[in-house]
Amino acid sequence: MHPWISERTEAFDSSGIRRVFDLASDLKDPINLSIGQPDFDVPDSVKRAAIEAIETGKNAYSPTQGIAALRVQLAARLAETYPSHEDRDVFVCSGTSGGLVLTMLSMVNPGDEVIFMDPYFVMYPSLVRMCQGVPVPVDTYPDFRLNPDRIAEAITPKTKMILLNSPANPTGITADRESLEAVAQLAAEKGIALVSDEIYSTFFYDGEFHSPAEFNDQTIVIDGFSKSHAMTGWRVGYVHGPKEITSVMLKLQQYSFVCAPQPAQWGALEAMEVDLSHHVNDYRRKRDFVYEALAKDYEVSKPNGAFYLYPKAPIESGAAFAEHAISENLLLVPGNIFSERDSHFRISFAATDETLKRGVEALARLARS
């Protein structure tokens, strides 16, 4: 390692993903099921709002906490959802990732344990380690359901935080109301911080979305516009939670991200008016198509949300399978970047019907060969 590089950076290992991209770079017209963002474009009205913001000179820093108009809209929505949460405050951050970074930096001390479910979103263990905290992944194999008993077993006197993510990346699995309530109560009883990453809440295909914040008014929620409105490059997210905590996060934001890009915040304000139901219906249909095709040959849990499936590889190693899939011109993400186990792989169904059709055909061939 270069002598100027800090030890902290050893918390980040991106070699798994890089390997997939390296393998992929040689392929011509690959069947790409590895992408973690919607395949539709930003809604036109949102583009126009951002362009207008740029053209009318809304190009400076915004207040640290975000433009007032967007905060007012977000706060109104939260007041409707959580009428009894009097000290719930909201601020705009630089993507959900920015919100996660601020959450960890504000709350995790060296030695603090942070519980999250395995498989997990790639950033979680690294961000915990960046703060010298201790990642505590709780195994959810084979069905990836939220299991309050397993969480209770993982709690020690050093547990600082439980971090939930439903619908989940990389499994698409959603937590049911009862389990969320049980975990929310457990956190409240033990005085443990509860953080909920709700970036995929729009993509919910069966029944109704529930947040643990419904059952624990101290829950810190991180959400954003990246996935719902296909605005991953615009970097607008938001955090809501007890004011005493969000105010500390804001202090850190002031000295780091400063603010989310102002024109993108005006776009996000418009995005709140956009009806996304046709996209959700379309993704439900894609989910059904891919799940039904894959279930013939693979062990796979039916996802109720997000746009991912997480099947078990037909050979020992998910990483070896992802490499083997390249021979079919197929790009998937090996499960070992999301998990302590190397047995599964992630595919995204946020792709055109044509790509999905080619993808399931290739997967069928791979399973049978």
Which residues are at the interface with ligand PMP (CB under 6 A)? 36, 95-97, 121, 165, 169, 197, 199, 224, 226, 232, 237
Distance set, CA 220 to CA 35, 70, 249, 359 (Å): 28, 19, 11, 38
The rounded distance, in Å, linking the Cα atoms of 122 and 14 is 9
Q: CB of residue 226 vs ligand PMP: minimum separation in angstroms?
A: 3
Least CB distance to ligand PMP at residue 365 (A) = 29
- Residue 142: asked if its preceding bond is cis (omega within 30°), the reply is yes
* CB closer to ligand PMP out of 237 and 311: 237
Q: Which residue number, 36 or 135, has a Cβ lying nearer to ligand PMP?
A: 36
CA distance linking residue 320 with residue 21, whole number of Å: 15
Nearer to ligand PMP, 198 or 328 (CB): 198
Token pair listed for 1: 């390692």
Write down the least CB distance from residue 36 to ligand PMP, Å. 5
Q: How far is the CB of 182 from ligand PMP (least distance, A)?
A: 22
Pairing between strand 237-242 and 220-224?
A: antiparallel
Of the pair 203, 215, the CB lying nearest ligand PMP is at 203
Closer CB to ligand PMP, 298 or 307, in the complex: 307
Least distance from ligand PMP to the Cβ atom of residue 256, Å: 15
C-beta of 341: minimal distance to ligand PMP in Å? 18
Sign of CA dihedral 104, 80, 66, 247: negative
Q: Indicate the residue among 66 and 366 with the shorter CB distance to ligand PMP.
A: 66
Cβ atoms < 10 Å from Cβ of 308: 26
- Residue ranges of E strands in the chain: 31-32, 88-93, 113-118, 134-139, 159-165, 193-197, 220-224, 237-242, 308-309, 330-331, 333-334, 345-348
Which tokens hold the place of 369? 């060969």
| Residue 219 near residue 184, CB atoms below 8 Å | yes
